[in-house]
Amino acid sequence: MRARFKGVLDPIGAFLIRLGLTPNWVTLLGLVGIGVSAVFLARGQFFWGGVVVLIMAPLDALDGTMARLIGNPTRFGGVLDSVVDRFAEIILIGGLVFYYLQQNEWLPVFLGYAAAGGSLMVSYVKARAEAARFVVKGGLLTRVERFLVLIPLLILGQPLLALWILAVLGNFTALQRLWLVYQQSRKEEDLPKV
Q: What pLDDT is attached to residue 192?
A: 57
Residue 1 lies in a domain: no
Average pLDDT for 2-6: 62
pLDDT exceeds cutoff 80 at 53: yes
Q: Is residue 30 part of a domain?
A: yes
| Structure confidence at residue 6 (pLDDT) | 67
* Residue 142 CB burial class (10 angstroms; 0-12, 13-18, ≥19): middle
CA separation for the pair 189, 133 (Å, rounded): 14
**144 Cβ contact partners less than 8 Å away, ≥ 6 residues apart:** 1
Amino acid identity of residue 159, one-letter, is P
- Between the alpha carbon of residue 76 and those of residues 24, 130, 187, the distances in Å are 9, 18, 34
CATH of the domain at 106: 1.20.120.1760
Determine which helix (DSSP H) or strand (DSSP E) holds 105, and give its type and residue range: none
Q: Could you report the per-residue pLDDT of 71-117, keeping only the tens digit for each?
A: 877 889 889 999 999 999 999 999 999 999 999 999 999 999 999 99
* Angle between helical axes of 143-155 and 75-102 (0-180°, round to 10): 40
* Residue at 141 is within a domain: yes
**Residue 128 lies in domain:** 6-190
pLDDT at 26: 92
pLDDT confidence bin for 193, thresholds 50/70/90: low
- 190 annotated active-site: no
With a cut of 70, say whether residue 1 has pLDDT above it: no
C-alpha–C-alpha distance, residues 171 and 163, integer Å: 12
Mean pLDDT score of the chain = 91
State the pLDDT at residue 3: 59
Q: What's the rounded Cα separation, in Å, for the pair 41 and 27?
A: 21
Tell me what percent of the residues of the chain surpass a pLDDT of 70. Answer: 94
Residue 99, in any domain of the structure: yes
pLDDT at residue 54, as a whole number: 94
Tell whether 10 is covered by a domain. yes
- Distance, CA of 41 to CA of 53 (rounded, Å): 11
pLDDT digits (tens, 9 = 90+) for 150-185: 999 999 999 999 999 999 999 999 999 999 999 999
119 in a domain, yes or no?
yes
Catalytic residue chosen out of the listed positions 60, 81, 85, 190:
85
Cα separations in angstroms, 54 against 21, 58, 164: 21, 8, 20
Q: What is the mean pLDDT of the segment spanning 47-53?
A: 97
Is residue 168 in some structural domain? Answer: yes
pLDDT above 60 (res 191): no
- Residue 99 has what pLDDT? 98
Dist CA 159 CA 107 (whole Å): 12
Number of domains within the chain: 1
Question: Global pTM?
Answer: 0.88
Within a domain: 170: yes
